Amino acid sequence: MIIFDCDGVLVDSEILSNDIDAELMSAAGYPITAAALIRGYIGRPKAEIWAAIAEERGVPWPDGLLEKADALLLERIETDLQPVAGVAEALALIPGRKAVASSSALPKLRKALARCGLLEIFDPAVFSASQVAHGKPAPDVFLHAARECGVPAERCLVVEDSVAGVHAGLAAGMRVIGFTGGLHSYSGHAAALLAAGAVEIVTNMCDLSDMVSLQRP
Protein backbone atom coordinates (compact mmCIF):
# COMPACT_ATOMS: atom_id res chain seq x y z
CA MET A 1 0.00 0.00 0.00
CA ILE A 2 1.14 3.54 -0.77
CA ILE A 3 0.42 6.09 1.98
CA PHE A 4 0.48 9.76 0.97
CA ASP A 5 0.84 12.80 3.12
CA CYS A 6 -1.66 15.42 1.94
CA ASP A 7 -0.43 18.99 2.43
CA GLY A 8 2.41 19.69 0.02
CA VAL A 9 2.19 16.24 -1.59
CA LEU A 10 -1.36 15.96 -2.92
CA VAL A 11 -2.57 19.56 -2.51
CA ASP A 12 -0.59 22.81 -2.50
CA SER A 13 -1.89 24.01 0.85
CA GLU A 14 1.39 24.66 2.68
CA ILE A 15 1.81 28.03 0.98
CA LEU A 16 -1.71 29.10 1.94
CA SER A 17 -1.51 27.85 5.52
CA ASN A 18 1.89 29.28 6.33
CA ASP A 19 1.13 32.66 4.74
CA ILE A 20 -1.90 32.96 7.03
CA ASP A 21 -0.01 31.79 10.11
CA ALA A 22 2.95 34.11 9.48
CA GLU A 23 0.67 37.11 9.03
CA LEU A 24 -1.29 36.45 12.22
CA MET A 25 1.79 35.62 14.30
CA SER A 26 3.58 38.74 13.10
CA ALA A 27 0.55 40.92 13.87
CA ALA A 28 0.48 39.38 17.37
CA GLY A 29 4.04 40.54 18.04
CA TYR A 30 6.16 37.64 16.81
CA PRO A 31 7.63 38.59 13.41
CA ILE A 32 8.10 35.46 11.31
CA THR A 33 7.90 34.66 7.62
CA ALA A 34 6.03 31.89 5.86
CA ALA A 35 9.37 30.62 4.58
CA ALA A 36 10.69 30.27 8.14
CA LEU A 37 7.57 28.39 9.21
CA ILE A 38 7.85 26.05 6.24
CA ARG A 39 11.53 25.35 6.79
CA GLY A 40 11.21 24.79 10.52
CA TYR A 41 7.81 23.35 11.22
CA ILE A 42 5.89 21.72 8.34
CA GLY A 43 4.65 18.19 8.83
CA ARG A 44 3.55 18.57 12.43
CA PRO A 45 -0.05 19.16 13.56
CA LYS A 46 -0.92 22.85 13.39
CA ALA A 47 -1.86 23.17 17.07
CA GLU A 48 1.51 21.69 18.06
CA ILE A 49 3.35 24.15 15.83
CA TRP A 50 1.55 27.09 17.36
CA ALA A 51 2.18 25.76 20.88
CA ALA A 52 5.89 25.28 20.17
CA ILE A 53 6.27 28.83 18.86
CA ALA A 54 4.31 30.24 21.80
CA GLU A 55 6.78 28.50 24.10
CA GLU A 56 9.70 29.97 22.15
CA ARG A 57 8.29 33.50 22.34
CA GLY A 58 7.49 33.06 26.02
CA VAL A 59 3.99 34.53 25.75
CA PRO A 60 0.70 32.77 25.00
CA TRP A 61 -1.09 33.65 21.78
CA PRO A 62 -4.13 35.91 22.08
CA ASP A 63 -7.32 33.96 22.71
CA GLY A 64 -8.90 32.71 19.52
CA LEU A 65 -5.93 33.41 17.24
CA LEU A 66 -5.35 29.77 16.27
CA GLU A 67 -9.06 29.35 15.63
CA LYS A 68 -8.94 32.45 13.42
CA ALA A 69 -6.06 30.92 11.46
CA ASP A 70 -8.05 27.72 10.98
CA ALA A 71 -11.13 29.64 9.79
CA LEU A 72 -9.12 31.74 7.35
CA LEU A 73 -7.47 28.62 5.94
CA LEU A 74 -10.83 26.95 5.37
CA GLU A 75 -11.90 30.04 3.44
CA ARG A 76 -8.73 29.96 1.33
CA ILE A 77 -9.23 26.25 0.64
CA GLU A 78 -12.63 27.04 -0.84
CA THR A 79 -11.31 29.80 -3.10
CA ASP A 80 -7.59 29.28 -3.78
CA LEU A 81 -6.47 25.71 -3.11
CA GLN A 82 -5.10 23.76 -6.07
CA PRO A 83 -3.86 20.17 -6.38
CA VAL A 84 -0.15 19.64 -6.74
CA ALA A 85 0.61 19.81 -10.46
CA GLY A 86 0.13 16.44 -12.16
CA VAL A 87 -1.05 14.58 -9.06
CA ALA A 88 -4.26 13.10 -10.51
CA GLU A 89 -2.37 11.75 -13.51
CA ALA A 90 0.37 10.34 -11.26
CA LEU A 91 -2.13 8.60 -8.99
CA ALA A 92 -3.85 7.01 -11.99
CA LEU A 93 -0.55 5.39 -12.97
CA ILE A 94 0.07 3.85 -9.53
CA PRO A 95 -1.71 0.49 -9.12
CA GLY A 96 -2.84 -1.03 -5.86
CA ARG A 97 -4.16 0.36 -2.62
CA LYS A 98 -3.64 3.97 -1.62
CA ALA A 99 -4.28 5.88 1.59
CA VAL A 100 -3.77 9.36 3.02
CA ALA A 101 -2.21 9.97 6.45
CA SER A 102 -2.02 13.65 7.34
CA SER A 103 -1.31 15.94 10.27
CA SER A 104 -4.33 18.04 9.29
CA ALA A 105 -7.58 17.78 11.24
CA LEU A 106 -9.98 15.41 9.50
CA PRO A 107 -12.63 17.98 8.40
CA LYS A 108 -9.98 20.22 6.82
CA LEU A 109 -8.24 17.21 5.27
CA ARG A 110 -11.38 15.90 3.59
CA LYS A 111 -12.38 19.39 2.48
CA ALA A 112 -8.99 19.95 0.83
CA LEU A 113 -9.07 16.60 -0.97
CA ALA A 114 -12.63 17.18 -2.15
CA ARG A 115 -11.82 20.69 -3.39
CA CYS A 116 -9.01 19.23 -5.51
CA GLY A 117 -11.06 16.31 -6.84
CA LEU A 118 -8.97 13.71 -5.01
CA LEU A 119 -11.21 12.52 -2.18
CA GLU A 120 -12.92 9.77 -4.18
CA ILE A 121 -9.51 8.31 -5.12
CA PHE A 122 -8.74 7.55 -1.45
CA ASP A 123 -12.02 7.45 0.44
CA PRO A 124 -12.54 5.85 2.93
CA ALA A 125 -8.77 5.42 3.51
CA VAL A 126 -8.27 9.02 4.69
CA PHE A 127 -6.65 9.31 8.11
CA SER A 128 -5.70 12.22 10.36
CA ALA A 129 -3.37 12.72 13.29
CA SER A 130 -6.46 13.94 15.15
CA GLN A 131 -7.53 10.28 15.29
CA VAL A 132 -4.43 9.12 17.17
CA ALA A 133 -2.54 9.98 20.34
CA HIS A 134 0.50 11.65 18.79
CA GLY A 135 1.11 13.53 15.55
CA LYS A 136 4.15 13.34 13.31
CA PRO A 137 7.08 12.84 13.87
CA ALA A 138 5.54 10.05 15.96
CA PRO A 139 4.49 7.07 13.80
CA ASP A 140 0.92 6.86 15.11
CA VAL A 141 -1.01 8.10 12.06
CA PHE A 142 0.90 5.86 9.65
CA LEU A 143 0.44 2.82 11.88
CA HIS A 144 -3.25 3.70 12.22
CA ALA A 145 -3.63 3.89 8.44
CA ALA A 146 -1.94 0.52 7.94
CA ARG A 147 -3.98 -1.12 10.69
CA GLU A 148 -7.30 0.25 9.45
CA CYS A 149 -6.51 -0.94 5.92
CA GLY A 150 -5.34 -4.36 7.13
CA VAL A 151 -1.87 -4.00 5.63
CA PRO A 152 1.34 -4.81 7.56
CA ALA A 153 3.45 -1.71 8.16
CA GLU A 154 6.43 -3.25 6.40
CA ARG A 155 4.31 -3.56 3.25
CA CYS A 156 3.63 0.18 3.13
CA LEU A 157 5.51 2.88 1.24
CA VAL A 158 5.12 6.52 2.29
CA VAL A 159 5.34 9.68 0.17
CA GLU A 160 6.22 12.71 2.32
CA ASP A 161 7.41 16.30 1.91
CA SER A 162 8.50 17.04 5.49
CA VAL A 163 11.30 15.94 7.78
CA ALA A 164 8.73 15.23 10.51
CA GLY A 165 6.80 13.04 8.09
CA VAL A 166 9.90 11.13 7.01
CA HIS A 167 10.77 10.46 10.65
CA ALA A 168 7.20 9.28 11.30
CA GLY A 169 7.21 6.90 8.36
CA LEU A 170 10.54 5.40 9.32
CA ALA A 171 9.45 5.03 12.94
CA ALA A 172 6.43 3.09 11.64
CA GLY A 173 8.77 0.66 9.88
CA MET A 174 7.94 1.94 6.40
CA ARG A 175 10.13 3.11 3.52
CA VAL A 176 9.73 6.78 2.63
CA ILE A 177 10.02 8.63 -0.68
CA GLY A 178 10.68 12.35 -0.28
CA PHE A 179 8.68 14.75 -2.45
CA THR A 180 9.85 18.29 -3.26
CA GLY A 181 7.46 19.26 -6.05
CA GLY A 182 5.08 21.44 -4.03
CA LEU A 183 4.99 25.22 -4.35
CA HIS A 184 6.46 25.52 -0.85
CA SER A 185 9.68 23.63 -1.66
CA TYR A 186 12.80 25.48 -0.48
CA SER A 187 16.54 25.46 -1.04
CA GLY A 188 17.94 22.42 0.78
CA HIS A 189 14.56 20.68 0.93
CA ALA A 190 15.72 17.52 -0.83
CA ALA A 191 18.89 17.33 1.22
CA ALA A 192 16.90 17.65 4.45
CA LEU A 193 14.56 14.80 3.47
CA LEU A 194 17.47 12.55 2.48
CA ALA A 195 19.27 13.34 5.74
CA ALA A 196 16.08 12.40 7.62
CA GLY A 197 16.08 8.99 5.93
CA ALA A 198 14.09 9.25 2.69
CA VAL A 199 15.26 6.54 0.28
CA GLU A 200 14.84 8.70 -2.83
CA ILE A 201 13.59 12.14 -3.85
CA VAL A 202 10.91 12.91 -6.41
CA THR A 203 10.83 16.51 -7.64
CA ASN A 204 7.99 16.18 -10.15
CA MET A 205 4.76 14.17 -10.03
CA CYS A 206 5.43 12.78 -13.50
CA ASP A 207 8.26 10.72 -12.00
CA LEU A 208 6.36 9.39 -9.00
CA SER A 209 4.88 6.21 -10.52
CA ASP A 210 8.30 5.01 -11.70
CA MET A 211 9.84 5.67 -8.29
CA VAL A 212 6.99 3.88 -6.52
CA SER A 213 7.52 0.87 -8.78
CA LEU A 214 11.20 0.78 -7.82
CA GLN A 215 10.64 1.26 -4.08
CA ARG A 216 7.40 -0.64 -3.49
CA PRO A 217 7.92 -3.24 -0.72
Q: What is the pLDDT of residue 117?
A: 97
Q: Which ranges of the chain have pLDDT less than 70?
A: none
Q: DSSP string spanning 144-203? A: HHHHHHT--GGG-EEEESSHHHHHHHHHTT-EEEEE--STT--TTHHHHHHHHT-SEEE-
- DSSP state at residue 206: G
Active-site positions read: 5, 7
Boundary residue ending a domain (80, 102, 121): 80
Domain span at 49 = 14-80
Closest CA to 1 of 179, 170, 217, 206: 217
Q: What is the pLDDT of residue 37?
A: 96
In this structure, are 182 and 108 located in the same domain?
yes
Q: What is the pLDDT of residue 49?
A: 96
The separation between CA 127 and the C-alpha centre of its own chain, rounded to angstroms, equals: 12
In this structure, are 143 and 63 located in the same domain?
no
In this structure, are 89 and 178 located in the same domain?
yes
CB 11 within 8 A of CB 118: yes
CATH number at residue 28: 1.10.150.240
Q: DSSP string spanning 94-149? A: --S-EEEEESS-HHHHHHHHHHTT-HHHHTT-EEEGGGSSS-TTSSHHHHHHHHHH
> What's the predicted TM-score (pTM) here?
0.94
In this structure, are 76 and 118 located in the same domain?
no
* Rounded distance between C-alpha atoms, residue 160 and residue 202, angstroms: 10
Closest CA to 206 of 178, 175, 177, 181: 181
Per-residue pLDDT reduced to its tens digit, 130-187: 999 999 999 999 999 999 999 999 999 999 999 999 999 999 999 999 999 999 999 9
Q: What is the pLDDT of residue 119?
A: 98
In this structure, are 111 and 190 located in the same domain?
yes
